[in-house]
Structure 1
Amino acid sequence: MPVDSERQQFPPQHGGRPYPRPAAAEPETAARLLGERLRDMRTSRGTTMREAAEAVRGSVSKISRLERALTPPRERDVKDLLHLYAISPSQRQEVLNLLRQAQGSSWHEEYQDVTPSYLKRLIGLEAAADRVAIYENHVVPGPLQTDGYAFHVLEAVMPGDQHNRRRRELRAGRREKLLGDSGPAQGLFVVLDESALHRTVGGAACMVEQLDFLREAHERKLAQIRIVEFGNSVGVSPPYPITSLRYPADSPSEVMYVEHIDSAMYLTRAADIDRYRKALHRVFQGASDRERTVELLTRAKERYLRARRCGEPAAG
């Protein structure tokens, strides 16, 4: 069986998207560009982070968060830094334009009522990332769920909730952003535990539709999908979902998102990043190659088709 390069290492290589990513205008992307410009201005003038912190009446960590786009930029702080750095009028206008974009509204703001704060931050980080790698151990990840699959997942957790339709719309928006023209330039990589293919959600027809969608996204190279088979999962698969968000080389390189039942952790410290990167590396090494992924998706679909014809549940 051929083994492709993405299986050998983490982070994986370029995802081979069929189109380049255009310049994004999302506030999260503008905030990251703003932070990069402020950092470049500070370092090019030999200003220390402590000196910059004094100019904004804050701490070194405040400057660090601003330059890494981890907190919303405040106009007063940005203008004080521009005064400290004594930049040209044209540079000042460039930065202020980024500031206005960074303070704008994102597409997902209309779903604030159904978006937990930890998920809102993830959506913003996805918009600015050059490469997104997701490991999911129980179900198909939210951004790759069909509407029917998402309906049954949400109903299982929050049966009859009047806001579930808007939650499905939010997932559809994330799917469109990650798989569409504004998706991560270096690719979207998804690793599933094989159990997600055999855990019936919404019946056989729903699963056939979901598996068809995964195969289409994989074959069109909108996402690179890998599967950790049952025989390889012991000692390889973490017991919780992990998402790695990687950014351009000239900005803070990586953020790890580790999801729990009703909360999540965002990790940026080098030691934490290294620990979870090693966990994802083991997952990628133990996962299927490109051709095997197609085979596993096809076999799972055929099993559900047989169950649908016979009118029986597709037991795993």
Structure 2
Amino acid sequence: MTATERSPSLFVRPLGAVENNPTALKLILGGKLRELRVHAGLDPADVDQRLGFPRSKTSRIELGRHGCKPADAEALLRLYGVEDEDLVTEFQRLVAQSRRTDWWRSFSDVLSDFFTPLVALEGAAAIIRTYEPFYVPGLLQTSSYARAVIESGPARLLPHEVRRRVDLRRERQRQLDQRDAPRLWAVIDESVLMRTVGGPRVMREQLEHLAALMRRPHITVQVAPLDVTASVGVGTGVTYLRFALGDLKDAVYIEHLTDSTFSQKPQTVEQYRDMLDRLGACALTPKESLVLLEERIRRYT
């Protein structure tokens, strides 16, 4: 690629919140390097051999599993014929951004491997859509409610482990207060409002907090009546991440009893996006949901 071929769209558009997400940047930079490699007519093994990389290093960089060092980026761009100084400078700037430590790594002591992909990327999403059949979604929980949910889980946790998990949940919630915060659209099973978690005081506080959040312009909450969720056939929690940038594929996170599935396979993502569409179409409107929520709050007075 020559200096006049400014085709990498990465360099000519703002990345917004993605710039503050090292994991997302690694995926974007890796995908861009893959495009450049294909354009240059090389396969990963060729690149490894020409640059003296260990076997499969190029593939790991392209998949975002291996951080790209500045020297590696320079060598790759040169091999792929990228000569425009502005492009190289911008690419190297983003490489430096991608090498920062993700905020969630400080919670590695309580962050399960199967939960990491969601936590790592949700802050980079333009839209987060979620369905929760048992509890208020984690991004909308109060600390007291979160503590009650965590303590009711199957694992026997020490007090400091519970605190750390609550802190993790609060850090995730802070992403909704950022300037480039994702738009959150949550559908909650009606039974969630009926289930008293942590006692009446904790539940009332949670419902009041949820009602306040529903008045924010970038947060939409709908309640799905019991007959709706029964007809749609949803039996587990689902979170769908929609990214504004084409360099990041949409993803779906599906909860199971003891683990989860995080997938970016188009067929799987489409299946769950369709399910969320049907739930949203059949659920109460946000206004109707708020009326129902306020009715439940009055029952705790």
Report how far residue 249 of structure 1 moved. Answer: 4.5
Contact 1:154 1:164 in 2 (8 A): yes
Does the residue aligned with 1:114 lie in a helix, a strand or coil?
coil
What amino acid is the match of 2:234?
A: P
Please name the residue that 1:74 is paired with.
68
Out of 21, 40, 49, the position equivalent to 1:47 is 40
| Runs of 4+, deviation exceeding 6 Å | none
Report how far residue 231 of structure 1 moved. Answer: 2.8
Q: How does 1:244-255 map to 2 (within 5 A)?
A: 244-255=240-251
TM normalised by structure 2 equals: 0.82
Cα RMSD of the aligned pairs, angstroms, is 2.5
Deviations 1:49-74 (A, max 9, x none): x52553136669x74x75564x2433
Q: How does 1:1-316 map to 2 (within 5 A)?
A: 24-35=19-30, 37-39=32-34, 41-42=36-37, 46-48=39-41, 51-52=43-44, 54-56=46-48, 63=59, 66-67=61-62, 69=64, 71-75=65-69, 78-88=73-83, 89-157=85-153, 158=156, 160-184=158-182, 187-305=183-301
Following the alignment from structure 1 to structure 2, what is the Cα–Cα distance between the partners of residues 104 and 249? 21
Please name the residue that 1:12 is paired with.
none
Following the alignment from structure 1 to structure 2, what is the Cα–Cα distance between the partners of residues 155 and 183? 29
What amino acid is the match of 1:54?
A: D
TM normalised by structure 1 equals: 0.79
Following the alignment from structure 2 to structure 1, what is the Cα–Cα distance between the partners of residues 245 and 23? 17
Deviations 1:186-212 (A, max 9, x none): x11111111111111011111111111
Please name the residue that 1:16 is paired with.
none
Report how far residue 127 of structure 1 moved. Answer: 2.0
Q: How many residues align?
A: 277
What amino acid is the match of 2:46?
A: E
Following the alignment from structure 1 to structure 2, what is the Cα–Cα distance between the partners of residues 56 and 192? 49
Deviations 1:158-183 (A, max 9, x none): 45443111111110000111344342
Contact 2:117 2:262 in 1 (8 A): no
Following the alignment from structure 1 to structure 2, what is the Cα–Cα distance between the partners of residues 72 and 195? 43
Q: List alignment gaps of at least 5 residues for structure 2.
A: 1-15, 50-54
What amino acid is the match of 1:234?
A: A
Following the alignment from structure 2 to structure 1, what is the Cα–Cα distance between the partners of residues 97 and 148? 37
Does the residue aligned with 2:20 lie in a helix, a strand or coil?
coil
Aligned pair in 2 of structure 1 residues 178, 68: CA closer, same or farther (>3 Å)? farther
Between the two structures, name the one with larger relative contact order (CA 8 Å, sep ≥ 6): 1
What amino acid is the match of 2:161?
A: H
Following the alignment from structure 1 to structure 2, what is the Cα–Cα distance between the partners of residues 249 and 101? 17
What amino acid is the match of 1:276?
A: Y
Following the alignment from structure 1 to structure 2, what is the Cα–Cα distance between the partners of residues 209 and 237? 30
Q: List alignment gaps of at least 5 residues for structure 1.
A: 1-20, 306-316
Report how far residue 268 of structure 1 moved. Answer: 1.6
